[in-house]
Structure 1
Amino acid sequence: MPKPFIRPYDPSHDFDSTLVIFYGTIAKSVDFEPARTMGSYVWCRPYILLSPITCFVLDNGSGQAVGYIIGAASTGDFVKKWRNEYIPTIDPEIIPKPPRQDNEKEEEKDGEGDKSGLLRYISNSVYEPENELLHLSTPNLLERYPAHLHIDILPEHQRRGYGPKLINTFLEKVKAEGAAGVHLKMLIENVEAKRFYEKLGFRIFEEVMDGGDSGEVGRVGDAICMVKEL
């Protein structure tokens, strides 16, 4: 039986498989349309299009990607490419530009307001990547930890030791590309993921990131920022 292994992302045949992995591991809060499709334009597509050399997949041994780690060695350079090369390719029919705040209607009832807010957040993240990725209120973060990553593995291939291998492969690559450190964001409620990253040497970023609103270091809304030196 073929044994899974890690290899570089191959743009010639891994694009569709990478999207399958993204949709197959998406958070429940985003698992509805159009949020699913829109979310892929923030948390998946830009990485494999703009920085394929820092993307790796878990191959099931038969050429099929069943997991990935995607990211960038320099978040600042990545955001520049996002604005200059990626945004011009976005179809506004798929990712509508977010409405102006002063023209918005009152939020709808029965949970539709929460969904509308999420869709606005995703749209903003597509068209204003600086707000999502540069952490302008905490410049020390990117100075010390310029790389960032996202990792997803299909459920049937989880808990087999491939996560640490994917992360170590990515870290070796971005270090070779000149990154002195790496950061990531994860939902604060995901205690299991936090333990996973801590075992790999990550820790919560030691500065307050939300202007003091939470009073907690490393807190960004409902997420925390974890970092690691390379």
Structure 2
Amino acid sequence: MAFLRPFDPADADQAAYICRATLLPGLGWSELAARLAPVALRVLTVEWPSRRKQCFVLDDGTGKAVGYVLGCPDVFAFVAAYRPYVDQVLASDVPPPAQLETQVPLLVPRPLAAAAEGGETEINPECLVQWAYKPEWVMGFRDKADMLEAHRATLHIDLLPEFQRQGWGRKLVDLFVGSIRQSVRDGQGDMGRGVHLFIGEENKQVVDFYQKCGFRLRDGGDKRTYWLVKDVDV
């Protein structure tokens, strides 16, 4: 029988598989882009043990992770602690981007042959490399700073399709919220008023799920991104 438990470093490879297996196919993921997708997952669960307490998995009952929630109570603290990972781990595995002064587009035109088989755009691996080296860009430090200051915690949930729509997503949200609440009570973080997350237009079908979990849409999003926040009482 499936159950929830704390994340174990031994779950890292399976969690990366879940991340890649549930990537939205319509976005056009190259092999390099798919390999880069779980970078934040590895940082939070393997390279930053003190934050692993906010990470949990859905175990299928055999020890195998089939879903997870990960996040942190303070994105500003996360970014501040991220630099050693870049210097000690990331740089040896992923070559640095050509430049970090200007963010390149996330989506770029597909080659004509590939566009005939799928969509007209695909994920730009160079953008993902930039995000890996400069996470404050993907977290919205430039254009969403006021929201991040107010709701400093963030989370990410992923479940294999066969375990979706069974109530596990809500339970993972509740487990994460309880963990950051306890961290703040213990003086180990500043979540402001609670949790935030961003949802891309291509994944808008999950907005309703998060609203049912107590999140609300916040003004300031654009035509490609939904901003949601959830207040958390300490």
Same-fold call, TM > 0.5? Answer: yes
Q: Which residue of 2 aligns with 1:70?
A: 70
Which residue identity is paired with 2:203? Answer: N
Q: Does 1:123 align with 2:129?
A: yes
Q: How big is the shift at 1:114?
A: 4.9
| Amino acid across the alignment from 1:218 | G
In structure 2, the CA distance between the partners of 1:91 and 1:142, relative to structure 1 (3 Å rule), is closer
The CA distance in 2 between the partners of 1:92 and 1:145, in whole Å, is: 31
C-alpha displacement of 1:223: 2.0
Task: Output aligned runs, 1:111-150, within 5 Å.
Answer: 114-115=121-122, 118-150=124-156
TM-superposed CA distance for 1:59, in Å, is 0.7
Q: CA deviation at 1:53?
A: 1.3
CA distance in 2, matches of 1:5, 1:108: 41
Q: Distance in 1 between matches of 2:170 and 2:19?
A: 18
Q: Which residue does the alignment assign to 1:47? A: 44
Give the equivalent residue in structure 2 for 1:168: 174
Aligned to 1:193: 206
Distance 1:149 1:189 in 2: 18
Could you tell me whether the CA contact under 8 Å between 2:218 and 2:228 is conserved in 1? yes
Partner of 2:183: 177
- Mapped contact 1:74–1:146 kept (Cα < 8 A): yes
For 1:90 and 1:109, the matched residues in 2 are separated by: 33
Give the deviation of 1:22 after TM superposition.
1.1
Q: Can you list the C-alpha shifts for 1:180-208, whole angstroms capped at 9, x where unaligned?
A: 300111112433201111111111222xx
Segments ≥4 residues shifted beyond 6 Å: none
Cα gap change, 1:229/1:36 in structure 2, threshold over 3 Å: closer, same or farther? same
Q: 2:16 aligns with which of 4, 14, 19?
A: 19
Aligned AA for 2:42?
R
SS in 2 for 1:14: helix
Change in 2 beyond 3 A, CA 1:135/1:36: same
Percent identical pairs in the alignment equals 31
- Looking at structure 2, the residues matched to 155 and 109 of structure 1 have their Cα atoms a distance apart, in angstroms, of 30
Q: Please report the TM-score for the alignment, with normalisation by the length of structure 1.
A: 0.82
Partners of 1:108 and 1:70 in 2: how far apart? 32
Aligned residue number for residue 96 of structure 2: 97
Output one character per residue of 1:137-188: Cα deviation in whole Å (capped at 9) or x when no partner. Answer: 3332122111001100011111111000001100111122222300111112
Alignment check: 8 A CA contact 2:57 2:67 kept = yes
In the alignment, the residues of structure 1 paired with residue 110 and residue 18 of structure 2 have an alpha-carbon distance, to the nearest angstrom, of: 32
1:76: Cα distance to partner? Answer: 0.5
Q: Decide whether the 8 Å contact of 2:20 with 2:37 is kept in 1.
A: no
Q: Distance in 1 between matches of 2:7 and 2:133?
A: 25
Unaligned runs of 5+ in 1: 207-216
Under a length normalisation based on structure 2, what TM-score does the superposition of the two structures give? 0.80
- SS of match in other structure, 2:63: coil
1:140 and 1:92 mapped to 2: Cα distance?
31
Q: Indicate which of 31, 35, 38 corresponds to 1:37.
A: 35
Tell me by how many angstroms 1:86 deviates: 1.2
Q: Say if 1:184 and 1:225, in contact at 8 Å, map to a contact too.
A: yes
